[in-house]
Chains A and B, each alone.
Chain A
Amino acid sequence: KQEVTQIPAALSVPEGENLVLNCSFTDSAIYNLQWFRQDPGKGLTSLLLIQSSQREQTSGRLNASLDKSSGRSTLYIAASQPGDSATYLCARGMGFQKLVFGTGTRLLVSP
């Protein structure tokens, strides 16, 4: 069974903190690892995509890393802001754009 697990399930931090979200997957044979943001009752916004041949990707205050050998990816958010509050989902790319999603981390950044 191809499982994707995210820890922690929920996280509450004060504004300005740097934080790390974790994602682990059971099968190292992946095409890519993607991170998404989901606001309540909304669809998904793509944040970062790491190809299987890459080790990390950066976009602004976000940095995602990928370690296939250990089956782990982390999303680092620097200088968190209240607007970062959302659910963050990682997804393992299995084949042509078929994604297996993790359970998500609900992030709350308080002012």
Chain B
Amino acid sequence: GAVVSQHPSWVICKSGTSVKIECRSLDFQATTMFWYRQFPKQSLMLMATSNEGSKATYEQGVEKDKFLINHASLTLSTLTVTSAHPEDSSFYICSASGGRMGDSYNSPLHFGNGTRLTVT
């Protein structure tokens, strides 16, 4: 089956530094990728949607200048948390689809294993 690889699986960084998280589709072309954030004992919250070659669409309340998303190729999307603060500590998960907006909304989604970010 389709596999989405997310790296790193965990990262600890100091406050004020930036962290990049990668999400790769290993055996399919991911035209659309989604980035979620999950705080402890809470559910996943969608942060942004990115389509290959275009700017990401951010959900309300998500700072686009703080959470930089790049989806420059059909197999790779990156999320960069800039000037990280302790409140950014969370579990970040990506998902990928081979479809585009306007395609079937029932196309399968494939999730990465997530990245645990701890900002000290």
Contacts and interface: CB of A to CB of B under 8 A. Distances in A.
Interface of A: 4, 31-32, 36, 41-46, 49, 51, 89, 91, 93, 95-104
A36 B43 CA distance: 12
Given A32-B106, A43-B93, A49-B106, A97 B34 contact: yes
Interface in B77-120: 91, 93, 95, 97, 99-103, 105-109, 111-114, 116
B32 interface: yes
Contacts, number: 64
A95 B105 contact: yes
B68 interface: no
B43 A97 contact: no
B44 interface: yes
B42 A97 contact: no
10 interchain residue pairs of minimum CB distance: A43-B111, A44-B111, A43-B113, A101-B43, A101-B44, A31-B105, A43-B114, A103-B43, A96-B101, A96-B105
Contacts of B113: 42-43
